[in-house]
Chains A and B, each alone.
Chain A
Amino acid sequence: MSQKELLKVKNLKQYFPIKGGIFGRTVNNVKAVDDISFTVNEGETVSVVGESGCGKSTTGRAILRLDNPTDGTVEFDGVNLLDLNKKEMRKMRKDMQIIFQDPYASLNPRQTVRETLREAMAIQNVVPKEERGDRIAELLETVGLQPYHADRYPHEFSGGQRQRIGIARALSVDPKLIVCDEAVSALDVSIQAQVLNLLKKFQKEMNLTYLFISHDLGVVRHISDRVIVMYLGKIVEVGDKKSIFENPQHPYTKALLSAIPVPDPDHNKDRIFLQGDVPSPIDPPTGCRFHTRCPFATERCKEETPELRSAGYMAEGHQGACHYMELIESGEHQPTRETSNVRMLDEEPEKV
């Protein structure tokens, strides 16, 4: 595999202002993504996982500048996207496409499939006008639909078929990078498998790069080369798929993996139950953001923000943001709170 860095995100921040008071001033910010950095190589699939509110979708949107990031740089193919004006950015989007979760909401209900695909090609001016008809038929066949489907409207399709149209639209402009934002989450498993296989096939054939945003760790294990785990706007762990799934280092990753129900009645697991819910990103916890729920948290975690770092025994490129990774691994640092009881009556932080 080529090791060319296609996407380089550095210190990306995305704050959403909260307006309040009679003058509509910004009273506070939702820190959806707070200073994250990572790279994606050409031809690989990098997944971003985490629970609701961790900032994974915001990251995807910020990269495509669907929202305007607050700070940081997003370098795509050597160009900093945040320096581009609207017109230049639009041109850039030929190479970077997105597939959304809900294919019904992201397709124009008043456009036939042909109009949708033709519009995409016209905006990016990718295929000569007279050849576009043929290209549409070809695209539909590639995603497993029939050319006669071109004259139908989105409501005439099933969920799986609509997602295929979303994929066809993304592919129509011949992109390099596709951001898949929960692209298969709304689909039933039998259909989900069809779409996943399709995405894998295209990657092989067209050397596509995927940034795959998902909360489903089964899907992530299946499709990814590398995985980024996010919690409350920060990256807590990053590494190749094998390291993340078989040798997780951050207590959050461990808890997340242990929480997934496995379709095997004999699977025995020591489940780590996390206390309470994810705190609000408006006023995130100090220090390590996970310390309010972390079974291993100490005073140090409350005060000092851990940086992503590696330890000697970890695979290359595998990093975790925890002060105690090595000591937890060696067993020297033991849990500071109960993790097996689901009915702890501890007070959780007040919601804002």
Chain B
Amino acid sequence: MSTNESILEVTDLRTSFFTEGGEVKAVDGVTFDVPAGKTLGIVGESGSGKSITAMSILQLISHPGKIKGGEIKFRGKNLLDLSEKEMRKIRGNQISMIFQEPMTSLNPTYTVGQQIRESYKIHQGLGKKEGSKRAIEMLKLVGIPSPEKRLDQYPFELSGGMRQRVMIAMALACKPDLLIADEPTTALDVTIQAQILELIKELQDELGMSVVMITHDLGVVAETCDYVAVMYCGKVVEYADVRTLFKNPRHPYTVGLLKSLPRSDRDQEELTPIKGTVPSPDEMPVGCRFAPRCPFATNLCHEKLPSLDDVGDGEQIRCWIYTDEWNGDPGVKVYEPERTTEG
């Protein structure tokens, strides 16, 4: 696909939740690559399965969820073949994760220092003194003022932005190769969001890590990512480099998202929303998941699920329009950039 070496290759990942109402296929055959040293954005609306995909990579899925199949190759090794003990050596060491709400993902009963030291203790066997020294270095790295003092503070004593910085310091403590950031700035104000995103970008350059950025915010994607996977109802519908995705989006869902988005950088006459709502798991369409809301859908779309196909230039699309089997209007234009007026 891409000439770059991939640090993570996810193939046909399937994660389901087995509830009283039956099986809910939260992640349903997800495939994507994360090129080494780059940032992959996984974007989608609520219920698209983007967070479950992230949790599946680190195998943080608990009952009633279960990873049913697929492959998660990290530096050529399938993580799903590893034992829980081997997985623990990877979590927080080679692959780290930061979460949306730093208050609920930091332990309120331990000080900042204790929490950062923990990963040095587990992965590198460092004692308190050496651990503290490294923790102070990390806090400095993420731009926390007077780090020596912060070490003995509890999470509640910090502001939201500072807490997220502590989370990042913890996640990066062991200099991981891959950082998974699950909506890292969603709970923050925009001025703080700008600080945190810039910080992640700078640290990525310094440490040479790869990042998986999970977000619902297309602005964040455009700003931080090199490649993007757009998810809808547990499936990747479009995978492209970030410029292609925004300049020449091809999947009707991606186009719909962009047209629904109110912009702060220019005036828009009208928003064109995607009609209808995301189908509930128990009435998932048999054909293309997006067909009931797609303005271009034909019988084919309603009856048969399209596959995620290469369309050249490393781009992949899951849509009948771009296949030989397309039986609708042959001249259909999914995206017409001239329709938006620059303000």
Knowing A263-B219, A265-B243, the reply to whether A52 touches B263 (Cβ < 8 A) is no
Contact with A along B240-283 (1 / 0, CB 8 A): 00110011000000001111111111011011111101100000
On whether the beta carbons of B219 and A191 are closer than 8 Å, the reply is no
Q: A257 within 8 Å of B by Cβ?
A: yes
On whether the beta carbons of B143 and A190 are closer than 8 Å, the reply is no
A351 to B270, CA, bound (A): 43
Q: Which residues of B contact A344 (CB under 8 A)?
A: 143
Stretch at the interface among A65-73, A89-97, A211-219, A306-314: A211-219
On whether the beta carbons of B161 and A277 are closer than 8 Å, the reply is yes
Q: What secondary structure prevails in chain B residues at the interface with A?
A: helix
Q: Which residues of A contact B264 (CB under 8 A)?
A: 217-218, 220-221, 245, 257, 260, 262
Q: Which residues of A contact B194 (CB under 8 A)?
A: 258-259, 261, 271, 273, 342
Residues of chain B from 275 to 306 with CB closer than 8 A to chain A in the complex:
275, 277-278
CB distance from B35 to the nearest CB of A (A): 16
Interface residues of A (CB under 8 A from B): 51-52, 158-161, 188-194, 196-197, 215-223, 245, 255-267, 271, 273-274, 277-278, 342-348, 351
Closest residue to A157 on the B side, CB-wise?
A: B277
Q: B145 within 8 Å of A by Cβ?
A: yes
Knowing A342-B143, A343-B199, A351-B157, the reply to whether A260 touches B262 (Cβ < 8 A) is no
CB contact between A263 and one of B140, B142, B189, B222 (< 8 Å): that residue: B222
Q: Which residues of B contact A191 (CB under 8 A)?
A: 273, 277
B-side interface size class: 35 or more
Knowing A190-B274, A191-B277, the reply to whether A52 touches B189 (Cβ < 8 A) is yes
Knowing A188-B216, A265-B222, the reply to whether A347 touches B145 (Cβ < 8 A) is yes
Q: Which residues of A contact B192 (CB under 8 A)?
A: 277
A261 to B223, CA, bound (A): 6
A21 to B81, CA, bound (A): 60
On whether the beta carbons of B189 and A215 are closer than 8 Å, the reply is yes
CB contact between A196 and one of B220, B223, B265, B271 (< 8 Å): that residue: B271
Contact with A along B208-230 (1 / 0, CB 8 A): 00000000111111111000000
A299 to B343, CA, bound (A): 38
Q: B45 within 8 Å of A by Cβ?
A: yes
A223 to B246, CA, bound (A): 24
CB contact between B145 and one of A190, A278, A342, A346 (< 8 Å): that residue: A346
On whether the beta carbons of A262 and B277 are closer than 8 Å, the reply is no
A278 to B191, CA, bound (A): 10
Knowing A189-B257, A262-B223, A344-B143, the reply to whether A194 touches B262 (Cβ < 8 A) is no
Q: B233 within 8 Å of A by Cβ?
A: no
Closest residue to B220 on the A side, CB-wise?
A: A261
On whether the beta carbons of A197 and B270 are closer than 8 Å, the reply is yes
CB distance from A52 to the nearest CB of B (A): 6
Residues of chain B from 131 to 190 with CB closer than 8 A to chain A in the complex:
140-146, 157, 159-162, 189-190
A196 to B262, CA, bound (A): 9
Known contacts A189-B218, A217-B264, A259-B191; 19 further A-B pairs (Cβ under 8 A): A51-B191, A52-B189, A191-B273, A197-B270, A197-B271, A222-B271, A223-B262, A262-B219, A262-B263, A264-B222, A265-B223, A265-B242, A267-B265, A271-B194, A271-B198, A273-B191, A274-B191, A277-B160, A343-B202
CB contact between A261 and one of B141, B195, B219, B257 (< 8 Å): that residue: B219
A193 to B217, CA, bound (A): 14
On whether the beta carbons of A262 and B265 are closer than 8 Å, the reply is yes
Q: Which residues of B contact A257 (CB under 8 A)?
A: 264
On whether the beta carbons of B190 and A342 are closer than 8 Å, the reply is no
CB distance from A189 to the nearest CB of B (A): 5
